[in-house]
């Protein structure tokens, strides 16, 4: 029987090739040579790429034997994950491989900006000795504000604390106790911006974080502030940052990421207070080695039909057939839970009930954590790092299994307690031969609605006319309602209206709906 073919499309370390083991046939090709890639991938069971090879629907269609695409790195923007999922191909990456390298680069960029390293070097190369022109600033006894306290944010905080800096952090999904353990004081974003000499961003790029630091936020900072972004583009509004630098409301910026890359034409590069690198966060020998070894392990697991912890789209492990359909449902419930909570849960119970508990359902606990953390963690969340990331945020997690399920054949519930004592719950099930996902409970209100990509939930005092008002506000905003359901605890008490809509509900429209019906709470969920 022939060995499975692993096609390597970009240079990898010798250790990575060795880690693939003797049970595969390793072939190589230039992934940027499109015609050759389409020919070579026809025999491949596994495809290993870095950032230059584009794996889209055309490549997947040309690879009938393909079982796994492995990205020896973190970002997946060159891989069509949706097309791979439809093709039944596992996609894996190396989510923790670059954490130290990115943290070190962020600190290095900060030091370069604080001490005018780049313009001083340029002056020397031009034959000018201008010590008086490049007076910098010390980091000692200054305050750094870390926006996003995930793995990389913690590493940056620890390194800058060693410089004698005071460390503030903003991250609504981290418990204060966990922050205190690493010597960090949690504050709200406005306080962080007002009180920091350095603002260092370490957040994922999501609909919620896009433009988080924009014009209004940059008007809160001190004029001596240095802004560092070695995380993801878009979190800091580049146009607003440019204006703040030009108007001297921000002293300097240290950047490794840009909204449009390559960013050789970015107007930020022409400003004297900017230190920039071309997205070098993961560009160290160590990070590349870690990434290569990690994906080599994942490729071996996928080809052996075993659990692939770093799978980003589907589970690739030996899991009971009856359990598998519950994995994407549970992940989706986790994302809805985080959107409803709006902050970190101090504790989270993952309750699994019904016939499915005849099997090992541990994977559903991992799926719930992956979903809960996907939209709030800086790192790419996988089944292998989700428990660690939850622990880092101070969230205690428990799997509750009960064969009894009075109302549904199987039921998955995520029930969490927030720091202030409030509780959030969301439940889902699968129905029919097609195993269609249904959202059947939110915060104690019974529902039966499809958990589509765009949802909204409004809690209000039960009374006539509310449904019509909600429909009118959305209609005026051009947002089409796909489904609506009202649930209430008692006539005249509190009620919940759940909406599935065809497009994301803008924040101002959501707020307008809340005002129009005097809502107790409003929440939008975007699962795209």
Contact (CB, 8 A) for 165 and 140? yes
Q: Which helix (H) or strand (E) holds 353?
A: strand 345-354
Pairing of strands 252-255, 345-354: unpaired
Active site residue 261: yes
Catalytic residue of the set 50, 71, 202, 232 = 232
Give the Cα separation of 86 and 372 in Å (integer). 23
Q: Where are the beta strands (DSSP E) in 41-176?
A: 44-49, 68-71, 90-92, 143-147, 166-170
Active site residue 321: no
Active site residue 130: no
Give the Cα separation of 93 and 384 in Å (integer). 12
Give the Cα separation of 171 and 169 in Å (integer). 6
Q: Where are the beta strands (DSSP E) in 302-366?
A: 345-354
Residues comprising the chain, all counted: 528
Residue 248: left (phi > 0), alpha (psi -120 to 50), or beta? left
Catalytic residue of the set 178, 279, 353, 393 = 279
Determine if the peptide bond prior to 379 is cis (ω within 30°): no
Give the Cα separation of 23 and 391 in Å (integer). 37
Give the Cα separation of 15 and 11 in Å (integer). 12
Centroid of chain to Cα 251: 29
Sign of CA dihedral 71, 279, 237, 213: positive
Mention every residue, 6+ apart, whose C-beta is less than 8 A from residue 265.
Answer: none
Give the Cα separation of 359 and 365 in Å (integer). 13
Considering only CA atoms, give the Rg of the chain: 25
Catalytic residue of the set 261, 286, 306, 355 = 261
Report the Cα–Cα distance between both ends of the chain, in Å, rounded.
Answer: 42
Give the Cα separation of 450 and 452 in Å (integer). 6
Residues carrying an active site annotation: 232, 261, 279
């Amino acid at each position: 029987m022939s060995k499975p073919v692993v096609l390597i499309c970009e240079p990898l370390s010798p250790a990575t090739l060795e880690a693939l083991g003797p049970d595969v046939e390793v072939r190589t090709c230039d992934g940027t040579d499109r015609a050759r890639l389409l020919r070579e991938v026809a025999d491949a069971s596994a495809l290993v790429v870095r950032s230059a090879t584009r794996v889209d629907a055309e490549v997947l269609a040309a690879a009938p034997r393909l079982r796994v695409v492995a990205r020896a790195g973190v970002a997946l923007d060159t891989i069509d994950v949706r097309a791979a999922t439809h093709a039944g191909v596992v996609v894996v990456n190396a989510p923790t491989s670059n954490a130290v390298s990115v943290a070190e680069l962020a600190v290095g960029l900060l030091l370069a900006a604080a001490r005018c390293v780049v313009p001083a070097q340029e002056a020397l190369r031009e034959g000018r000795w201008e010590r008086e022109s490049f007076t910098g600033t010390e980091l000692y006894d200054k305050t750094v504000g870390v926006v996003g306290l995930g793995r990389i944010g913690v590493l940056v905080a620890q390194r800058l604390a060693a410089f004698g800096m005071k460390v503030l952090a903003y991250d609504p999904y981290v418990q204060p106790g966990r922050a205190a353990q690493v010597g960090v004081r949690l504050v709200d974003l406005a306080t962080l911006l007002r009180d920091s000499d350095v603002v260092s961003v370490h957040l994922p790029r999501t609909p919620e974080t896009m433009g988080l630091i924009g014009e209004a936020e940059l008007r809160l900072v001190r004029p001596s502030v240095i802004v560092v972004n070695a995380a993801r583009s878009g979190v800091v509004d580049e146009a607003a940052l440019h204006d703040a630098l030009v108007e001297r409301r921000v002293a300097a910026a240290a950047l490794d990421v840009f909204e449009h890359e390559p960013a050789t034409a970015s107007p930020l590069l022409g400003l004297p207070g900017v230190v920039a690198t071309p997205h070098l966060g993961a560009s160290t020998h160590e990070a590349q080695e870690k990434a290569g070894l990690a994906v080599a392990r994942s490729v071996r697991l996928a080809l052996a039909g075993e659990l692939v912890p770093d799978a980003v789209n589907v589970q690739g492990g030996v899991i009971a057939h009856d359990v598998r359909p519950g994995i994407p449902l549970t992940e989706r419930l986790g994302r809805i839970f985080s959107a409803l909570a709006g902050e970190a849960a101090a504790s989270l119970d993952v309750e699994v009930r019904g016939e499915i508990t005849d099997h090992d359902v541990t994977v559903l606990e991992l799926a719930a954590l992956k979903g809960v953390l996907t939209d709030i963690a800086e790192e790419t969340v996988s089944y292998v790092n989700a428990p660690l990331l939850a622990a880092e945020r101070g969230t205690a997690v428990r799997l509750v299994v009960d064969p009894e399920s009075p109302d549904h054949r199987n039921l998955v519930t995520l029930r969490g307690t927030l720091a202030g004592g409030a509780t959030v719950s969301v439940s889902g099930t699968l129905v029919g031969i097609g195993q269609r996902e249904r959202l059947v409970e939110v915060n104690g209100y019974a529902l039966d609605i499809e958990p589509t990509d765009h949802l909204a939930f409004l809690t209000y005092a039960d009374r006539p006319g509310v449904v019509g008002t909600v429909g009118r506000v959305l209609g005026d905003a051009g947002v089409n309602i796909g489904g609506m359901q009202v649930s209430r605890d008692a006539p005249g008490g509190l009620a919940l209206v759940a909406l599935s809509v065809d497009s994301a509900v803008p924040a101002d429209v959501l707020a307008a709906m809340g005002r129009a019906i005097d809502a107790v709470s409003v929440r939008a969920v975007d699962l795209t």
